[in-house]
A = this chain, B = another copy of it.
Amino acid sequence: MASRHIITLLSDFGTQDIYVAAMKGTIARVNPDLQLIDLTHQIPAQNIAAGRFCLLSAYPYFPVNTVHVAVVDPGVGSRRRAVAVQFPEGFVVAPDNGLISGILTLSPVLAAVELTNSNYWRVPDPSLTFHGRDIFAPVGAHLASGVPLADLGESINPASLVELPISQYQETTTGIEGYIQYIDRFGNLVTNIPAAAVENQQQWSLLVGRQSLSHGYTYADTQPGSIVALVGSHGWVEIAVNRGSARSLLRLNYGDPVQIAFR
């Protein structure tokens, strides 16, 4: 229990408005002693794929039994389910729209429920437009305070959780085909090709558009302004520019294809 009192928040609400604060106040009303940590609230509006990537990328670093409340929810008010899922490394409370699907590819589900028990909501009659405040935040706070998962609603089949149509990377006879799955603040381009896919290769280069990028190990390996492909800190093959933006230099965006060529 000692490590269970951390609750994280991820959303596309930004930090300009008080949407996030309303969630935090609601959590504090349930239990003022929980430790609140923001994952990010800068997910591009309603971009479930970006939310999925950020949630997937952050959760391994937190203590076991941390509760992650994730709200990127374009279908709020429609019939999409609200769920809580228990993984070995912690809990996720979120709309069932694919946000959780990144973690699903890496971790077994220990248990999953639909959030049907309104006793743990902020109010029995929640807002049609803000389930983050009225359902996800208070449910997460109760869960982080020791309420059993099974009390939050009816058990559901983990296989029924929504998957996103994010295509996997493909191995070919000469290398790997993948694509850009995330772009960070520095303009680093994160592909969907994991470190494991290249770590046994003596030599590889990354092809993007008409360019062939040799691979390096650190940003400092290269001259300022030059482009390098490397296994980034997220654990994926990334394209980076020492002291610059790969996004701007290569004019690439989410979903653009990349290829790795082995030698």
Chain A residues near B (Cβ < 8 Å): 2-3, 5-6, 8, 13-19, 21-22, 24-26, 28-29, 32-33, 35-42, 45-46, 54, 57-63, 66, 74-78, 127-130, 133, 184-186, 217-221, 230, 232-233, 243
Contacts and interface: CB of A to CB of B under 8 A. Distances in A.
A60 B39 CA distance: 24
The 4 closest A-B pairs by CB, nearest first: A77-B218, A25-B61, A130-B233, A25-B62
Main secondary structure of the interface of A (DSSP, over half): loop
B28 A63 contact: yes
A17 B29 CA distance: 28
Given A6-B32, A28-B6, A220-B76, A40 B21 contact: yes
B78 A22 contact: no
B218 A26 contact: no
11 contacts: A3-B28, A15-B15, A18-B39, A19-B233, A25-B59, A25-B61, A29-B63, A36-B37, A78-B218, A129-B218, A133-B233
Contact of A28 (B14, B62, B186): B62
A122 to B, nearest CB: 8
A210 B254 CA distance: 38
Contacts of A78: 218, 220
Contacts of A219: 74, 76-77, 129
Scoring A35, A46, A128 by chain B CB atoms within 10 A of each residue's CB, the highest score goes to: A128
Given A18-B57, A19-B233, 8 more contacts: A5-B32, A8-B25, A15-B15, A15-B42, A16-B185, A17-B185, A29-B62, A127-B233
A37 B61 contact: no
A38 B57 contact: no
A104 B2 CA distance: 39
A243 B78 CA distance: 14
